[in-house]
Amino acid sequence: MSTEHVETSLASQETQVPEENHSTPEILEGEKEMVTVFSDPVNFNVKHPLHSQWTMWYDNPGKKANQASWSQNLKEVITFDTVEDFWGIYNNVVRPSDLSPGSNYHLFKAGIKPMWEDSSNANGGKWVVQLPKKTGEHINTLWLYIMLECIGEGFQYENEVCGGVVSIRKGFYRISLWTRISDDKEICESIGRHLKNTLSLNPNQMIEFQSHADAAKSGSCNKDLYTV
Protein backbone atom coordinates (compact mmCIF):
# COMPACT_ATOMS: atom_id res chain seq x y z
CA MET A 1 0.00 0.00 0.00
CA SER A 2 1.45 3.42 -0.95
CA THR A 3 1.94 6.15 1.66
CA GLU A 4 -0.65 8.24 -0.16
CA HIS A 5 -3.16 5.39 0.02
CA VAL A 6 -2.51 4.90 3.76
CA GLU A 7 -3.03 8.61 4.41
CA THR A 8 -6.26 8.65 2.40
CA SER A 9 -7.68 5.66 4.23
CA LEU A 10 -6.67 7.11 7.63
CA ALA A 11 -8.36 10.40 6.71
CA SER A 12 -11.53 8.63 5.65
CA GLN A 13 -11.49 6.60 8.92
CA GLU A 14 -11.50 9.84 10.90
CA THR A 15 -14.67 11.11 9.26
CA GLN A 16 -16.59 7.85 8.99
CA VAL A 17 -18.75 6.75 11.88
CA PRO A 18 -18.50 2.94 12.01
CA GLU A 19 -21.78 1.17 11.59
CA GLU A 20 -22.76 -1.19 14.37
CA ASN A 21 -22.43 -4.77 13.26
CA HIS A 22 -24.74 -7.30 14.87
CA SER A 23 -23.98 -10.12 12.46
CA THR A 24 -21.98 -13.19 13.50
CA PRO A 25 -18.24 -12.43 13.19
CA GLU A 26 -16.67 -13.97 10.13
CA ILE A 27 -14.44 -16.96 10.87
CA LEU A 28 -11.14 -16.42 9.12
CA GLU A 29 -9.39 -19.25 7.35
CA GLY A 30 -7.26 -21.26 9.79
CA GLU A 31 -9.13 -19.94 12.84
CA LYS A 32 -10.94 -22.43 15.05
CA GLU A 33 -14.61 -21.67 15.57
CA MET A 34 -15.25 -20.90 19.21
CA VAL A 35 -18.22 -22.84 20.54
CA THR A 36 -20.42 -20.92 22.97
CA VAL A 37 -24.05 -21.16 24.07
CA PHE A 38 -24.78 -18.62 21.33
CA SER A 39 -23.80 -21.25 18.75
CA ASP A 40 -27.35 -22.52 19.18
CA PRO A 41 -29.41 -19.32 19.44
CA VAL A 42 -32.65 -21.32 19.69
CA ASN A 43 -31.95 -23.64 22.62
CA PHE A 44 -28.79 -22.03 24.06
CA ASN A 45 -27.65 -25.50 25.06
CA VAL A 46 -24.34 -25.97 23.26
CA LYS A 47 -21.73 -27.12 25.76
CA HIS A 48 -18.21 -25.69 26.03
CA PRO A 49 -15.69 -28.45 25.32
CA LEU A 50 -12.67 -28.99 27.56
CA HIS A 51 -9.32 -29.67 26.00
CA SER A 52 -9.24 -33.17 27.53
CA GLN A 53 -11.60 -35.68 29.10
CA TRP A 54 -11.37 -36.03 32.89
CA THR A 55 -12.52 -38.77 35.25
CA MET A 56 -13.66 -38.34 38.83
CA TRP A 57 -12.87 -41.21 41.22
CA TYR A 58 -13.83 -41.80 44.83
CA ASP A 59 -12.54 -44.14 47.48
CA ASN A 60 -13.04 -44.71 51.15
CA PRO A 61 -11.04 -47.69 52.33
CA GLY A 62 -12.92 -47.66 55.65
CA LYS A 63 -10.40 -49.62 57.59
CA LYS A 64 -6.69 -49.20 56.94
CA ALA A 65 -5.92 -50.34 53.38
CA ASN A 66 -2.89 -52.27 52.28
CA GLN A 67 -1.31 -52.08 48.84
CA ALA A 68 -2.97 -55.29 47.67
CA SER A 69 -6.54 -54.42 48.68
CA TRP A 70 -6.45 -50.66 48.20
CA SER A 71 -7.64 -50.52 44.58
CA GLN A 72 -10.76 -52.63 45.35
CA ASN A 73 -12.27 -49.57 47.01
CA LEU A 74 -11.57 -47.27 44.12
CA LYS A 75 -14.81 -46.29 42.33
CA GLU A 76 -14.92 -44.55 38.97
CA VAL A 77 -17.63 -41.90 39.39
CA ILE A 78 -17.91 -40.21 35.99
CA THR A 79 -15.99 -39.02 32.93
CA PHE A 80 -16.75 -35.62 31.42
CA ASP A 81 -15.37 -33.32 28.75
CA THR A 82 -17.39 -30.11 28.91
CA VAL A 83 -17.47 -27.15 31.28
CA GLU A 84 -21.20 -27.59 31.89
CA ASP A 85 -20.85 -31.27 32.80
CA PHE A 86 -18.05 -30.39 35.23
CA TRP A 87 -20.32 -27.93 37.08
CA GLY A 88 -23.17 -30.45 36.97
CA ILE A 89 -20.95 -32.96 38.77
CA TYR A 90 -19.41 -30.42 41.12
CA ASN A 91 -22.84 -29.22 42.25
CA ASN A 92 -24.15 -32.71 42.83
CA VAL A 93 -21.45 -34.62 44.69
CA VAL A 94 -20.91 -34.53 48.44
CA ARG A 95 -18.50 -31.73 49.39
CA PRO A 96 -15.07 -32.86 50.62
CA SER A 97 -15.73 -31.33 54.06
CA ASP A 98 -18.80 -33.57 54.41
CA LEU A 99 -17.01 -36.82 53.51
CA SER A 100 -16.06 -39.30 56.20
CA PRO A 101 -12.42 -39.62 57.31
CA GLY A 102 -10.40 -41.93 55.08
CA SER A 103 -12.16 -40.71 51.90
CA ASN A 104 -10.49 -39.36 48.78
CA TYR A 105 -11.74 -37.71 45.60
CA HIS A 106 -9.41 -38.06 42.64
CA LEU A 107 -9.73 -36.05 39.43
CA PHE A 108 -7.49 -37.49 36.73
CA LYS A 109 -7.12 -37.21 32.97
CA ALA A 110 -9.32 -39.90 31.43
CA GLY A 111 -7.32 -43.05 30.83
CA ILE A 112 -5.05 -42.54 33.87
CA LYS A 113 -6.06 -44.50 36.97
CA PRO A 114 -5.28 -42.64 40.21
CA MET A 115 -2.80 -45.25 41.36
CA TRP A 116 0.98 -45.59 41.42
CA GLU A 117 0.77 -48.66 39.19
CA ASP A 118 -0.71 -46.83 36.18
CA SER A 119 1.98 -46.41 33.52
CA SER A 120 1.42 -42.62 33.47
CA ASN A 121 2.12 -42.45 37.21
CA ALA A 122 4.76 -45.15 37.57
CA ASN A 123 7.69 -42.74 37.11
CA GLY A 124 5.92 -39.80 38.70
CA GLY A 125 5.27 -38.33 42.06
CA LYS A 126 3.06 -35.86 43.89
CA TRP A 127 3.14 -32.45 45.48
CA VAL A 128 1.49 -32.65 48.88
CA VAL A 129 -0.22 -29.86 50.79
CA GLN A 130 -1.42 -30.81 54.25
CA LEU A 131 -4.03 -28.54 55.80
CA PRO A 132 -5.30 -28.47 59.37
CA LYS A 133 -8.84 -29.62 60.15
CA LYS A 134 -9.68 -26.04 61.11
CA THR A 135 -9.49 -25.27 57.36
CA GLY A 136 -13.12 -26.42 57.54
CA GLU A 137 -15.28 -25.67 54.51
CA HIS A 138 -12.45 -23.73 52.87
CA ILE A 139 -11.09 -27.13 51.78
CA ASN A 140 -14.03 -27.28 49.33
CA THR A 141 -12.87 -24.03 47.70
CA LEU A 142 -9.25 -25.15 47.55
CA TRP A 143 -10.28 -28.44 45.93
CA LEU A 144 -12.40 -26.48 43.44
CA TYR A 145 -9.41 -24.28 42.53
CA ILE A 146 -7.24 -27.36 41.94
CA MET A 147 -9.90 -28.99 39.78
CA LEU A 148 -10.37 -25.82 37.72
CA GLU A 149 -6.61 -25.49 37.22
CA CYS A 150 -6.44 -29.13 36.12
CA ILE A 151 -9.36 -29.11 33.67
CA GLY A 152 -8.42 -25.63 32.44
CA GLU A 153 -4.92 -27.02 31.80
CA GLY A 154 -3.38 -23.89 33.22
CA PHE A 155 -0.04 -25.38 34.26
CA GLN A 156 2.96 -24.42 32.15
CA TYR A 157 3.95 -28.09 31.97
CA GLU A 158 0.37 -29.28 31.59
CA ASN A 159 1.34 -32.57 29.93
CA GLU A 160 3.20 -33.60 33.07
CA VAL A 161 0.11 -33.18 35.28
CA CYS A 162 -1.92 -36.39 35.73
CA GLY A 163 -4.50 -35.21 38.23
CA GLY A 164 -5.33 -34.09 41.74
CA VAL A 165 -6.53 -35.72 44.94
CA VAL A 166 -8.27 -34.38 48.02
CA SER A 167 -7.95 -36.59 51.08
CA ILE A 168 -10.05 -36.36 54.22
CA ARG A 169 -8.29 -37.74 57.27
CA LYS A 170 -9.20 -37.77 60.93
CA GLY A 171 -6.83 -34.98 61.91
CA PHE A 172 -6.20 -33.09 58.66
CA TYR A 173 -7.02 -32.52 54.99
CA ARG A 174 -4.54 -33.11 52.20
CA ILE A 175 -4.43 -31.93 48.61
CA SER A 176 -2.05 -33.73 46.25
CA LEU A 177 -1.14 -33.00 42.67
CA TRP A 178 0.18 -36.01 40.77
CA THR A 179 2.78 -35.61 38.06
CA ARG A 180 3.90 -37.95 35.29
CA ILE A 181 7.58 -37.39 36.06
CA SER A 182 9.69 -37.11 39.19
CA ASP A 183 13.25 -36.80 37.88
CA ASP A 184 13.11 -33.31 36.34
CA LYS A 185 13.62 -30.89 39.22
CA GLU A 186 12.91 -27.76 37.15
CA ILE A 187 9.59 -29.02 35.76
CA CYS A 188 8.47 -30.52 39.07
CA GLU A 189 9.31 -27.35 40.97
CA SER A 190 7.53 -25.18 38.39
CA ILE A 191 4.40 -27.28 38.90
CA GLY A 192 4.83 -27.02 42.69
CA ARG A 193 5.13 -23.23 42.56
CA HIS A 194 2.02 -23.06 40.35
CA LEU A 195 0.16 -25.21 42.88
CA LYS A 196 1.17 -22.85 45.71
CA ASN A 197 -0.13 -19.88 43.70
CA THR A 198 -3.37 -21.65 42.85
CA LEU A 199 -4.02 -22.32 46.53
CA SER A 200 -2.79 -18.81 47.51
CA LEU A 201 -0.44 -20.36 50.03
CA ASN A 202 1.89 -18.15 52.02
CA PRO A 203 5.22 -18.06 50.10
CA ASN A 204 6.97 -19.13 53.32
CA GLN A 205 4.85 -22.26 53.62
CA MET A 206 6.93 -25.09 52.16
CA ILE A 207 5.27 -27.91 50.27
CA GLU A 208 6.87 -31.25 49.48
CA PHE A 209 7.23 -33.50 46.48
CA GLN A 210 7.48 -37.27 46.91
CA SER A 211 7.98 -39.91 44.24
CA HIS A 212 5.40 -42.70 43.93
CA ALA A 213 8.24 -45.22 43.80
CA ASP A 214 9.31 -44.16 47.31
CA ALA A 215 5.71 -44.22 48.54
CA ALA A 216 5.16 -47.71 47.15
CA LYS A 217 8.43 -48.96 48.67
CA SER A 218 7.84 -47.66 52.14
CA GLY A 219 4.05 -47.94 52.15
CA SER A 220 3.86 -44.34 53.22
CA CYS A 221 5.50 -41.25 51.78
CA ASN A 222 8.44 -40.11 53.83
CA LYS A 223 11.23 -38.99 51.53
CA ASP A 224 10.89 -35.51 50.04
CA LEU A 225 12.60 -35.12 46.67
CA TYR A 226 11.88 -31.42 46.29
CA THR A 227 10.37 -28.58 48.30
CA VAL A 228 9.15 -25.19 47.11
For residues 181 and 199, is the Cβ–Cβ distance under 8 A? no
Nearer to ligand MGP, 89 or 216 (CB): 216
Nearer to ligand MGP, 50 or 65 (CB): 65
Minimum CB separation of residue 224 from ligand MGP in Å reads 14
Q: Which residues contact 46 (CB under 8 A, 6 or more apart)?
A: 35, 36, 37, 38, 39, 40
Nearer to ligand MGP, 70 or 90 (CB): 70
Torsions phi, psi for 39 (to 5 deg): -70, -20
Minimum CB separation of residue 167 from ligand MGP in Å reads 5
Minimum CB separation of residue 111 from ligand MGP in Å reads 16
Minimum CB separation of residue 184 from ligand MGP in Å reads 21
Nearer to ligand MGP, 47 or 139 (CB): 139
Minimum CB separation of residue 189 from ligand MGP in Å reads 22
For residues 97 and 175, is the Cβ–Cβ distance under 8 A? no
Nearer to ligand MGP, 75 or 169 (CB): 169
What does the alpha-carbon distance between residue 140 and residue 95 come to, in Å, rounded to a whole number? 6
Counted residue by residue, the chain has a size of: 228
Torsions phi, psi for 171 (to 5 deg): -105, 0
Footprint of ligand MGP (CB under 6 A): 64-67, 70-71, 115-117, 167, 169, 219-220
Report which of 82, 90, 22, 79 is spatially closest to residue 46, judged by C-alpha positions. 82
Nearer to ligand MGP, 5 or 64 (CB): 64
Bridge-based pairing of strands 226-227 and 208-211 is antiparallel
To the nearest 10°, report the CA torsion of 2, 3, 5, 8: 180
Minimum CB separation of residue 131 from ligand MGP in Å reads 13
Minimum CB separation of residue 60 from ligand MGP in Å reads 10
What does the alpha-carbon distance between residue 219 and residue 217 come to, in Å, rounded to a whole number? 6
Angle of helix 83-90 versus helix 138-151 axis, rounded to 10: 160
What does the alpha-carbon distance between residue 70 and residue 215 come to, in Å, rounded to a whole number? 14
Nearer to ligand MGP, 23 or 220 (CB): 220
